[in-house]
């Protein structure tokens, strides 16, 4: 890149052309990091001049360098300040120092996904923000400052129904003659993988036309938990019908083979899997954690059911309802796709963020 401005092949963005900085000060991949990676290209396609900052990000993601922070005393072209969009405590603090001590022309926005009481330290940091965003209504309930709720969105083109569901199953090595119920995500107690397995052990023996898959990785500390589940499945004589398929980068293709999705979490910050399933026209049964109750439609035009957390009985009952009623499941499938497109596209999330940027700093 040259000092004259513009973008380079390495995706370094000239600082004078950046109006919004999205810092990522955590090297390990997390939900926050994934949000930044997915959002920035969409935001830039909408004309928002956003760039990332920090480690652990793809090289092709538009970004600035740490040394560019010395240029923040000069505002972007045609603006009186920049926005620093923090998503963690560690990203709020340096922005406060730059704005209040170094007197750089910054406005700081913080997105909170926490669903618990904040510590005194976090409350102090949040109180210094120029704008606060909550990722769900439940998250907003834990904030003591004015905030705007912006629910996450997903790529509804990547997560979309297959032209031929039988072929989608065959391509993943699944039996196209079987209906498939899935549970995707990290394999661990918090994610409720054991609840899913137990409910399937209860349901599948009397439903020979159904099978189940668990897609996701068990990290080293949870391998024993996964092995215990596999042993339980084997003991139940269902090793050929409850499949552990591991972690996949093409998880959107696995959703296309599903007829029903279950999100069995005991706790969740937000949780994108129900949105990914619904966008793929798959009805969802989800526990009452995270943002799940705000994502699904129950009752008229239903996209699925919300059930009590940590209850195999509730999960088995709800799953059985959809497994045994093809018409209801197919109706929910159609509603799910429409609901996801209409309310949870990542373009919609990016547009809502752009409006908040304008109100906070650029109006």
pLDDT tens-digit series, residues 221-237: 999 999 999 999 999 99
> Would you say 37 and 63 are in contact if contact means Cβ atoms under 8 Å apart?
no
pLDDT tens profile 63-114: 999 999 999 999 998 899 999 999 999 999 999 999 999 999 999 999 998 8
pLDDT at 270: 87
Nearest 10 degrees: CA dihedral of 205, 206, 211, 212?
Answer: -70
Query: Would you tell me how many other CB atoms lie within 10 Å of the CB of residue 244?
Result: 19
Which residues of the chain form CATH 3.40.50.2000? 15-153+346-362, 165-343
Summarize the confidence of residues 281-286 as an average pLDDT: 98
pLDDT at 116: 86
Report the CATH number of the 15-153+346-362 domain.
3.40.50.2000
Q: How far apart are CA 57 and CA 125, in angstroms?
A: 25
Average pLDDT over all residues of the chain: 94
Own/partner contacts of 158-161, CB < 8 Å, gap of 24 or more, are 158/252, 159/252, 159/255, 159/275, 159/276, 159/279, 159/280, 159/340, 160/252, 160/279, 160/280, 160/281, 160/337, 161/256, 161/280, 161/281, 161/337
> Would you say 116 and 267 are in contact if contact means Cβ atoms under 8 Å apart?
no
pLDDT at 31: 76
pLDDT at 128: 98
pLDDT at 219 over 70: yes
For residue 307, what are the contacts with CB-CB under 8 A and spacing of at least 6? Answer: 285, 286, 287, 288, 314, 315, 317, 318
Summarize the confidence of residues 305-322 as an average pLDDT: 98
Return the beta strands (E) in the chain as ranges: 20-23, 50-53, 82-86, 106-112, 131-134, 148-149, 179-184, 210-215, 242-246, 260-263, 284-287, 304-307
pLDDT at 29: 65
Q: How far apart are CA 240 and CA 291, in angstroms?
A: 33
Summarize the confidence of residues 347-359 as an average pLDDT: 96
- Exposure of 228 in the CB half-sphere (CA atoms within 13 A): 12
Angle at 101 between CA 96 and CA 106, to 5 degrees: 50
pLDDT at 6 over 50: no
Summarize the confidence of residues 294-318 as an average pLDDT: 97
pLDDT at 9: 46
b or e along 69-94 (b: 16 or more beta carbons within 10 Å of the residue's beta carbon)?
Answer: beebeebbeeeebbbbbbbbeebbeb
Position with higher pLDDT, 269 vs 195: 195
> Would you say 322 and 12 are in contact if contact means Cβ atoms under 8 Å apart?
no
> Would you say 112 and 139 are in contact if contact means Cβ atoms under 8 Å apart?
yes
Angle at 302 between CA 296 and CA 303, to 5 degrees: 50
Position with higher pLDDT, 18 vs 29: 18
H or E element, residue 255? helix 251-255
**Burial status of residue 217 (CB atoms within 10 A of its CB: 0-12, 13-18, 19 or more):** middle
The fold adopted by the segment(s) 165-343 is Rossmann fold (3.40.50)
């Amino acid at each position: 890149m040259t000092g004259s401005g513009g973008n380079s092949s390495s995706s370094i963005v000239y600082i004078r052309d950046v109006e919004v900085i999205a810092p990522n000060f955590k090297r390990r991949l997390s939900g926050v990091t994934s949000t930044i990676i997915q959002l920035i290209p969409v935001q830039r396609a909408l004309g928002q001049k956003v760039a990332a900052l920090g480690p652990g990000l793809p090289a092709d993601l538009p970004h600035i360098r740490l040394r560019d922070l010395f240029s923040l005393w000069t505002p972007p072209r045609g603006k009186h300040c920049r926005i620093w969009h923090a998503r963690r405590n560690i990203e709020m603090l340096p922005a406060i120092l730059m704005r209040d001590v170094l007197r750089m022309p910054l406005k700081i926005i913080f997105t909170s996904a926490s669903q618990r009481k904040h510590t005194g330290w976090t409350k102090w940091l949040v109180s210094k923000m120029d704008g606060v965003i909550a990722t769900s209504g439940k998250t907003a309930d834990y904030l003591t400052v004015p905030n705007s709720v912006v629910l996450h969105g997903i790529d509804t083109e990547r997560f979309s129904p297959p032209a031929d569901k039988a072929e989608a199953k065959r391509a993943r090595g699944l039996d196209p003659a079987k209906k498939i119920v899935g549970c995707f995500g990290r394999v661990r107690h918090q994610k409720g993988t054991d609840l899913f397995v137990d409910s399937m052990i209860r349901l599948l023996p009397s439903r020979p036309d159904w099978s189940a898959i668990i897609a996701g990785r068990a990290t080293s500390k949870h391998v024993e938990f996964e092995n215990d589940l596999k042993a339980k499945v084997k003991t139940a004589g269902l090793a050929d019908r409850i499949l552990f398929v591991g972690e996949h980068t093409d998880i959107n293709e696995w959703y296309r083979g599903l007829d029903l999705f279950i999100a069995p979490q005991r706790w969740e910050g937000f949780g994108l899997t129900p949105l990914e399933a619904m966008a793929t026209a798959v009805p969802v049964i989800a526990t009452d954690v995270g943002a799940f109750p705000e994502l699904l439609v129950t009752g008229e035009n239903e996209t699925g059911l919300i059930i009590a957390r940590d209850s195999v009985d509730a999960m088995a009952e709800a799953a059985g309802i959809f497994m045994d009623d093809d018409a209801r499941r197919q109706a929910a499938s159609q509603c799910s796709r429409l609901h996801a497109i209409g309310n949870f596209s990542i373009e919609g999330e990016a547009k809502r963020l752009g409006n908040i940027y304008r109100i906070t700093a650029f109006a």
